[in-house]
Each structure stands twice: as structure tokens, then as C-alpha cells.
Structure 1
């Protein structure tokens, strides 16, 4: 193994169809311009993003490893072979930050095991941006991913998260498949205590951004259509 290893750059992307440099620092553009090997979830969208932020990049020069639900775990070490040969590799998120509610953490783990330097780059995280703008506890919080689809199980989980929030003064963050957002908000309004605070952060960083925090009981009057719009939900009971 060479003593001079390449680095693994964790490259964030936009949260929607806005101009990359509106939400990403110039350092991200610089890294992309100087990287030819990428680990991506979707090659088509990854190439489109690279073209937008770095129009002069020659697409045929790029090598891409695919990291998705079909990728075998045994294939992951090979993705870092360029690093072992001294070449930098970029782990490119599909939306937001790599490895945070996004594939990539297993590759990062292997990089640490192999002594490859991991370099996270600054970019938008919908989870943190939602928490920042919620007015809820930013020193004690938990991200819970997706809640159960089954109605009774989802209701039980919401009540459990509400109890956790109260017992530990902890903001509880979760997401939903975008086409079920309106149903989720309805369930929040009908399941939680009337004074439990609920934040909905939708289309973060986009022109259609909608962020609002109010008691669960007041969300029953909601007129904002969340259907198929990426959203973060946060609850807090005090």
C-alpha cells in the first residue's frame, strides 16, 4: 500500500432544483472539478449535478461506482481501491449530505478501517435546517427516519416519540414518503396531545419553502398542500 493515499470526499448536493452555488460553497465546486472518481446512488442525476456545478468537466473522463439497494456489501471495499492507489474519490449524495438519511455510511466505515482520510464538505442538511428553524430544542434531539406505514403501529410510535420528547426534553425528528405527507400531518393532529408542538419544514432552500411550528391541534386547519413535497416533521412536548 502506498503511503500517500487518496482522500474520500463527502460531497453534498442541493435539496432540489436550484442553482448549486446558491446553497453550496465554492469549495464543493473546486473539489468536483478536481475529482474524476465518484461513488453515486444514481449515475444519471449525479452526472447532471456535476455538469451544472462544473460545466467544463469532461463527462467521459468520470468513473462512477454505484451505491444503492442492489449493491452487495462485498463490493464496497473495491470502491475505495482508487484511494489506496493515491486517487481522491468523491461520495456524492443524491440530495443533501452523504451518510445522513442517505447511503454512504458503510463506505465511510471502510475508509476509516483502511486508513483513508474522510473529508466532509459543507452543504445543506434538511434535518439540521429544519431543526434550526423549528424553535425546538436543538441541544437534545433524535432523528427517527421513517415511521411505520401501518396506521395503528404509526399511532403507537407517535405516542412513544411524544413521551420520549416529554421525558427527556428532546425534539423528535422524522420523515415520510412525500406522497403520504398530508396523511402524516392528519395523523399528527389527531394522535398527539393538543399542546404538543409540531414543526413542518417543506421544500427547504427552495423558492416554495414552507416552515411552520404550532400546536398539534392547530394543524387540523392546515391549508398548505404537502403532497409530493420533501418534508421534515419535528415534535416536542413540554
Structure 2
């Protein structure tokens, strides 16, 4: 049976040298079949990688957040004898990404799954935060409803206080500023909050401050992808 390769996608511009090591790039260039989150973005990405055949000769199947396990089974069935590259919109497939569903089906079928080296905004934020890297949890998206989100924020803060476990989470970019506003309103002043803003973009940064300090100099995040982390 075929092998499933999980291909990292860039987080920002000027990505080629910093995103894919030479060995990973060679593996990607050897593939002809892909399951991708966004067809247009993936075609452009593969073209920039210098694929040795025309992009039109590659087979790309869309696999996004609307896709189901049945869709994954169909793709795996169609490419049973062909290696498959999985590409998410940004970062690494399977982490905060619908590609996890396809990988789960591949594991159930006993396919060989090979994660390739590349950037993850979650791990980059953790690395730059100064928080506990021995014990951490990625909590995905927080509830949208304000009351439920407030409860969840306070739960995560208490987890940090009790266990020291770092708590990381994300938000749809256009809601970044609303989430930051609520975090600064609901968290205790001495709680440490780290923001991983626009990672791998020229103006990107990772900063850890107390909530009280963030309140004095609150940044405007806009629609730039941002990772949030609580720690001590």
C-alpha cells in the first residue's frame, strides 16, 4: 500500500529555505498525488517548490473541514497504490487541521504515515514563550459564546496555576482582537499571557507579558494569524 506524507506549508513569505529542508523538498518533488485543504493555494505552493512536472499533471483532491471520513476513505481507495502528499493551508497537517481525519483513516488501514519536518505556529509560540515545554496542551478554538468562553478562559488559567501546564489556543483571525480583549478583561493581572503573532512574517513576533502589562500596551492583532498561550 501507499505511504502518506504530511507536508508542512509556509506560515509567511520568504518561506522556502526556512520551511522545507532539502531532503523534505526532494520527497515532495517525487510525489504526484495530493490531498489538499485549498486547491488554489496548494497549486501555487507546489509550483513555487519547483515540481519536476507541470502542475496540471499532478492529481489534487480537496480535503477540507467539510470533508468526512467517507471522503478520506475514497481518496485512500483511489490512491491505494500511489503515495499521497497531504498539504494544509498553513503549518503542519493534522494539527488544528482537517487533515487529521484523513490521517486517522490511513492509520486504520495500516498505511505508513510519514510526518515531514516544517514549521508549526503552535510549537514556535511555545518555544518562544518561556513557558513550561515539558507539560503543555493545545486547546484548539475556545467557545464563541461570550459566557462560555469566559468560563473556559478561567478554567485554563486555573489549570496553569494548579499544574503549571502551558495552555495554548487559537482563534479565527478576524476575531483575534475580540479574544484578546476578553482575555485581558477576565484573566488575573499577574497571569502570564504569550502571543505568537504573524510567525514567519517579517513583522511577526512572540512576546510574553503579564496581563497587567498587556493592558497598558494592548497590540492590534487585526487578521494576522496569532497563537495565544497561558503559562507560568
TM-score normalised by L of structure 1: 0.92
Runs of 4 or more above 6 Å deviation: none
How much does 1:82 deviate? Answer: 5.0
Q: Which consecutive residues of structure 2, in runs of 5 or more, have no partner in the other structure?
A: none
How much does 1:236 deviate? Answer: 1.9
- State whether residues 6 and 82 of structure 1, in contact with CA within 8 Å, keep that contact through their aligned partners in structure 2: no
Of 165, 169, 193, the match for 2:164: 169
User: How far does the alpha carbon of each residue in 1:3-34 deviate from its partner, in whole angstroms, 9 at most, with x for none?
Assistant: xx221101111112333222221223212211
Whether 2:87 is the aligned partner of 1:92: answer: yes
- Give the Cα separation in 1 of the matches to 2:132 and 2:182: 23
How much does 1:235 deviate? Answer: 0.7
How much does 1:103 deviate? Answer: 1.3
- Give the Cα separation in 2 of the matches to 1:7 and 1:66: 18
Whether 2:138 is the aligned partner of 1:143: answer: yes
Whether 2:79 is the aligned partner of 1:79: answer: no
Of 108, 112, 115, the match for 2:110: 115
Report how many residues are paired: 232
Of 202, 206, 212, the match for 1:211: 206
The residue that corresponds to 1:182 in the other structure is 177
The residue that corresponds to 1:38 in the other structure is 34
Query: Root-mean-square deviation (CA), in Å?
Result: 1.5
With over 3 angstroms needed to count, the CA separation of the structure-2 counterparts of 1:93 and 1:28, relative to structure 1, is farther
Q: Which consecutive residues of structure 1, in runs of 5 or more, have no partner in the other structure?
A: none
- Give the Cα separation in 2 of the matches to 1:164 and 1:223: 24
1:44-63 counterparts in 2 under 5 A? 44-54=40-50, 56-63=52-59
User: How far does the alpha carbon of each residue in 1:96-130 deviate from its partner, in whole angstroms, 9 at most, with x for none?
Assistant: 00000111112112212222111110000000010
